[in-house]
Amino acid sequence: MSLLTTLARLEAVRAGRARPLATVRHRHLTDRPLVFVPLTTAGEAGAPLGALVGTDRDAPRLLVVPQPRDRDLRWTFLADLAEEVLPYIDAYADHVEPAERTETDPVTGKKAKVATELCLDAPQIVVPSPAGIEYVRLLGRSMRFRRTAEEDPDAPYPAPARVPLLGRWFTHLAERSRMPGSALLLSATGLLSRHWATGQSSLEDQHLGALLAWIAPDPKTGGTGAEQALRAELARDAQGLLLVPPAGPATDPAFDNKLLAPAMARFDAARAADPADPAARSAAEDAVRALVASQLRPTWDAVWRSLDLVRELPPGAHTEQRWTGDRWSYTGHRDRVRAGEPPQPRRDDAVTAARKLGRRETEQVRLDAQEALDDPLVMAARRFAGEAFAGEITEVVMEWTDSKRPSPRPLLAVATEDGPQFDGPAKVYRSLDGRAQTAEHVRTEEDGTVVLRLLDKMGRGREPEPGTVPEKGDQVCWTLFEHEPRSGPRLPEPEDTPWTHGGPPAAGPEATDPVTDEDML
């Protein structure tokens, strides 16, 4: 964390409400995101309790598992979830534009452009918190190996075809969310804390209700953001229940013990009643549904409010470019599904894992550079760290190369108060109409004036093209980091994984999770 972020937090403490950490929005937001607020059962992995899901903030679909230990009810929940989410994901699959992709020929090793198609837009799913993203990953893992009745007629609990498909999409989205700057799967707390600093620790920022109170305190409630955040975090009613339920997926233990457990016990009793009483059973089920809904609805509204707040910021110039990367990611997975490829393996093979890590590192560098270029507040942190400097051009001296066809190599003197940390001969970059123009550092004068020699983007002629060389009096911001990072080393194809790294991955789809005793209630 930069000292500038710390400073923003200190300011937030004094002001009693959040202070900006960004002047533009650094993540792409689509016009029609799908919000997904899941709740899970304490103590059991992958046992959903319920969810609100949908694209209409006034009409979410409520899905509840009235007895999470009952596998039949759990599978019904997942099938219903797939019914809600898959049409949303698929809606973007057929609107495409022609595009080109660079492919390496496996025989000659040459790179060639291949005509392909790219989806015009992509789905965007928003969950309340990073724990929600992890839950999407968990659900993806629990669903993608399920077998359908067609694949395996003898399988107990065959799944409808859409369930393993949703598992594959959830896995893909969760995996993509680890790519820095990606926006296919976002968390509300992640979005908010990227753009605002609160007067509490980042640990406490994980609480969506508290975070929102710091950023946009409710004028009707009264009190500062800090006071409202405290109330959102801790206030309980006479029964000992939290006034603002946690954003999940974990529930408040007091809610589990005081309300949910008795309601579930009543549901179990009504189900087991002999003779069967459908009215009593459905009343008991409705009671559980109402309880789960009461915990979900405040979080649902909070996620939409978070989106409103972030949407108010003007988009950063590079967000569109990063969204194109997300569209490629979506299109790529669409193609894999259509080609009938098996679900993602339980563990990546060595080459795939190394590739993913390498790409994430490159994307992190790219994201850092792009955010700085888009946002003076982010650039200020880089200037503070000595990785960039801004100042006025005090002198321009024209010089040329010594070759037969001389090219311009003007010298620029930049007066700056920033202290750029040059380490030996260094290159610096500035953004010229969206492209990076390079200069080399010649020397730093005693008064801090930096002398640079401009190297490129001045045209082919002897005289530089107009507008390509800054003039005396111009304010220019230079970076010591490149605007487009280089990608890492080339890796072999997965089939050529050397034996030192486990050899080529095993072919064929993976086995499904075995059915255990407790799958039969």
Partner 1 sequence: MPPRPLDARALAALAANPGCRRRALLDGAGVDKPALAAALGAPAGYGQSQFAMIRGNSFEAKVKADGGTELLRLVHEKLGRGAEPPRAAHLPDLAAAGPEGRAARTALALREATASGTWTLLDHPMLALEVAGTPAYLEPDAVVVHPDGRWTVVEIKSFPLIDGAADPAKVGAAARQAAVYVLALERVAAKLDGARVGHEALLVCPKDFSNVPAAAAVDIRKQRAVTRRQLDRLARVEDLAAALPDGTSFAPDRTRAQLTEAVEAVGAAYAPDCLAACELAFHCRDRARAAGAVGTLGRQVRGELGTLTTVEAALDAAAGGCPGGPAEDPTAEALHRAARLRAGALAAAGLPADRTEGPGCPS
Cβ(65)–Cβ(78) below 8 Å: no
User: Which residue has tokens 């005693």?
Assistant: 446
- Closer to partner 1 by CB, 364 or 512: give it: 512
Contact code string over 121-160 relative to partner 1, x by CB under 8 A: -----------------x--xx------------------
Q: Interface with partner 1 includes 6 (CB under 8 A)?
A: yes
* Shortest distance, position 289 Cβ to partner 1, whole Å: 17
Burial class (CB in 10 A: 0-12, 13-18, 19+), 12: buried
- Among residues 227, 256, 286, 301, the one that binds partner 1 under rule CB under 8 A: 256
The label of the residue with tokens 């490129």 reads: 456
Report the nearest approach of partner 1 to the CB of residue 368 (Å).
Answer: 16
Integer Cα distance of 365 and 481 in angstroms: 9
Whether residue 288 contacts residue 264, with contact meaning beta carbons closer than 8 Å, is answered with yes
Distance CA 262, CA 347 (A): 40
Contact 234, 226 (CB under 8 A): no
Stretch that binds partner 1, among 35-43, 155-163, 335-343, 405-413 (CB under 8 A): 35-43
Report whether 129 contacts 37 (CB < 8 A): no
Find all residues with CB under 8 Å of 77, minimum gap 6, and list them.
48, 50, 51, 63, 64, 65
Among residues 108, 239, 500, 516, the one that binds partner 1 under rule CB under 8 A: 516
CA proximity to 477, closest of 417, 411, 409, 391: 391
Nearer residue to partner 1 within complex by CB, 89 or 213: 213
Smallest distance from partner 1 to CB 275, Å: 29
Q: Of the ranges 2-10, 296-304, 465-473, 497-505, which one interacts with partner 1 (CB under 8 A)? A: 2-10
Report the nearest approach of partner 1 to the CB of residue 510 (Å). Answer: 10
Q: Can you name the residues that pair with 185 across neighbouring β-strands?
A: 125
Q: In the window 261-280, what residues touch partner 1 (CB under 8 A)?
A: 261
Binding residues with partner 1: total (CB under 8 A): 57
Q: Is 202 in the site for partner 1 (CB under 8 A)?
A: yes
Residue 1 in contact with partner 1, rule: CB under 8 A: yes
Minimum distance between the CB of residue 376 and partner 1, rounded to whole angstroms? Answer: 4
Give the residue, chosen from 107, 203, 272, 339, that forms a contact with partner 1 under the rule CB under 8 A: 203
Q: H helices of 91-186, where? A: 130-144, 162-176
Would you count residue 45 as binding partner 1 (CB under 8 A)? yes
* Residue 19 found at the interface with partner 1 (CB under 8 A): yes
Q: Residue 23 or residue 407: which is nearer to partner 1 going by CB? A: 23
Residues 6+ apart with CB under 8 A from 46: 40, 138, 139, 141, 142
Binding mask 78-107 for partner 1 (x = CB under 8 A): ------------------------------
Which pair of tokens denotes residue 380? 């200020």
Near partner 1 by CB under 8 A, which window of 45-53, 271-279, 282-290, 404-412?
45-53
- Quote the least distance from Cβ 379 to partner 1, whole Å: 7
Tokens 């997975």 sit on residue: 333
* Binding of partner 1 by 383 (CB under 8 A): yes
User: Does 234 sit near partner 1 (CB under 8 A)?
Assistant: yes
Q: Does 312 bind partner 1 (CB under 8 A)?
A: no
The residue within the footprint of partner 1, chosen from 96, 99, 365, 380 (CB under 8 A), is 380
**Between 10 and 397, whose beta carbon lies closer to partner 1?**
10
Q: Which is nearer to partner 1, 47 or 79 (CB)?
A: 47
Backbone angles phi, psi at 233, to 5 degrees: -80, -40
Task: Give the nearest distance from C-beta 254 to partner 1 in angstroms.
Answer: 6
Cα–Cα separations (whole angstroms), residue 80 to 36, 53, 74: 13, 10, 10
Site for partner 1 in 326-365 (CB under 8 A): 346-347
Q: Which one, of 372, 445, 450, lies nearest residue 411 by Cα? A: 450
E-strand stretches of 402-487:
411-415, 427-432, 435-444, 450-454, 475-479
Among 104, 221, 257, 421, binds partner 1 (CB under 8 A): 257
Using CB under 8 A as the binding rule, whether residue 376 contacts partner 1 is answered as yes
Q: Which positions from 57 through 76 interact with partner 1, judged by CB under 8 A?
A: 68
Pick between residue 70 and residue 256 the one whose CB is nearest to partner 1: 256
**For residues 260 and 469, which CB has a smaller minimum distance to partner 1 in the complex?**
260
Asked if 521 is part of the footprint of partner 1 (rule: CB under 8 A), the reply reads no
**What's the per-residue H, E or C state across 264-299?**
HHHHHHHHHCCCCCHHHHHHHHHHHHHHHHHHHHHH
Q: Tell me whether residue 122 or residue 310 sits nearer to partner 1 (CB atom).
A: 310
Closest CA to 359 of 317, 327, 329: 329
CA dihedral (450, 452, 457, 459) in degrees, to 10, reads: 130
């229940």: which residue's tokens? Answer: 241
* 488 closest CA partner among 339, 395, 366, 384: 366
Instruction: Name which of 46 and 358 has its Cβ closer to partner 1.
Output: 46
Interior angle at CA 360, CA 358 and CA 366, nearest 5? 110
Pick the binder of partner 1 from 50, 199, 225, 298 (CB under 8 A).
199
Q: What letter does residue 499 receive in the DSSP assignment?
A: G
Residues in touch with partner 1 (CB under 8 A): 1-4, 6-11, 13-15, 19-20, 23-24, 41-47, 68, 138, 141-142, 199-204, 234, 251, 253-254, 256-257, 261, 346-347, 375-377, 379-381, 383-384, 513-514, 516-519
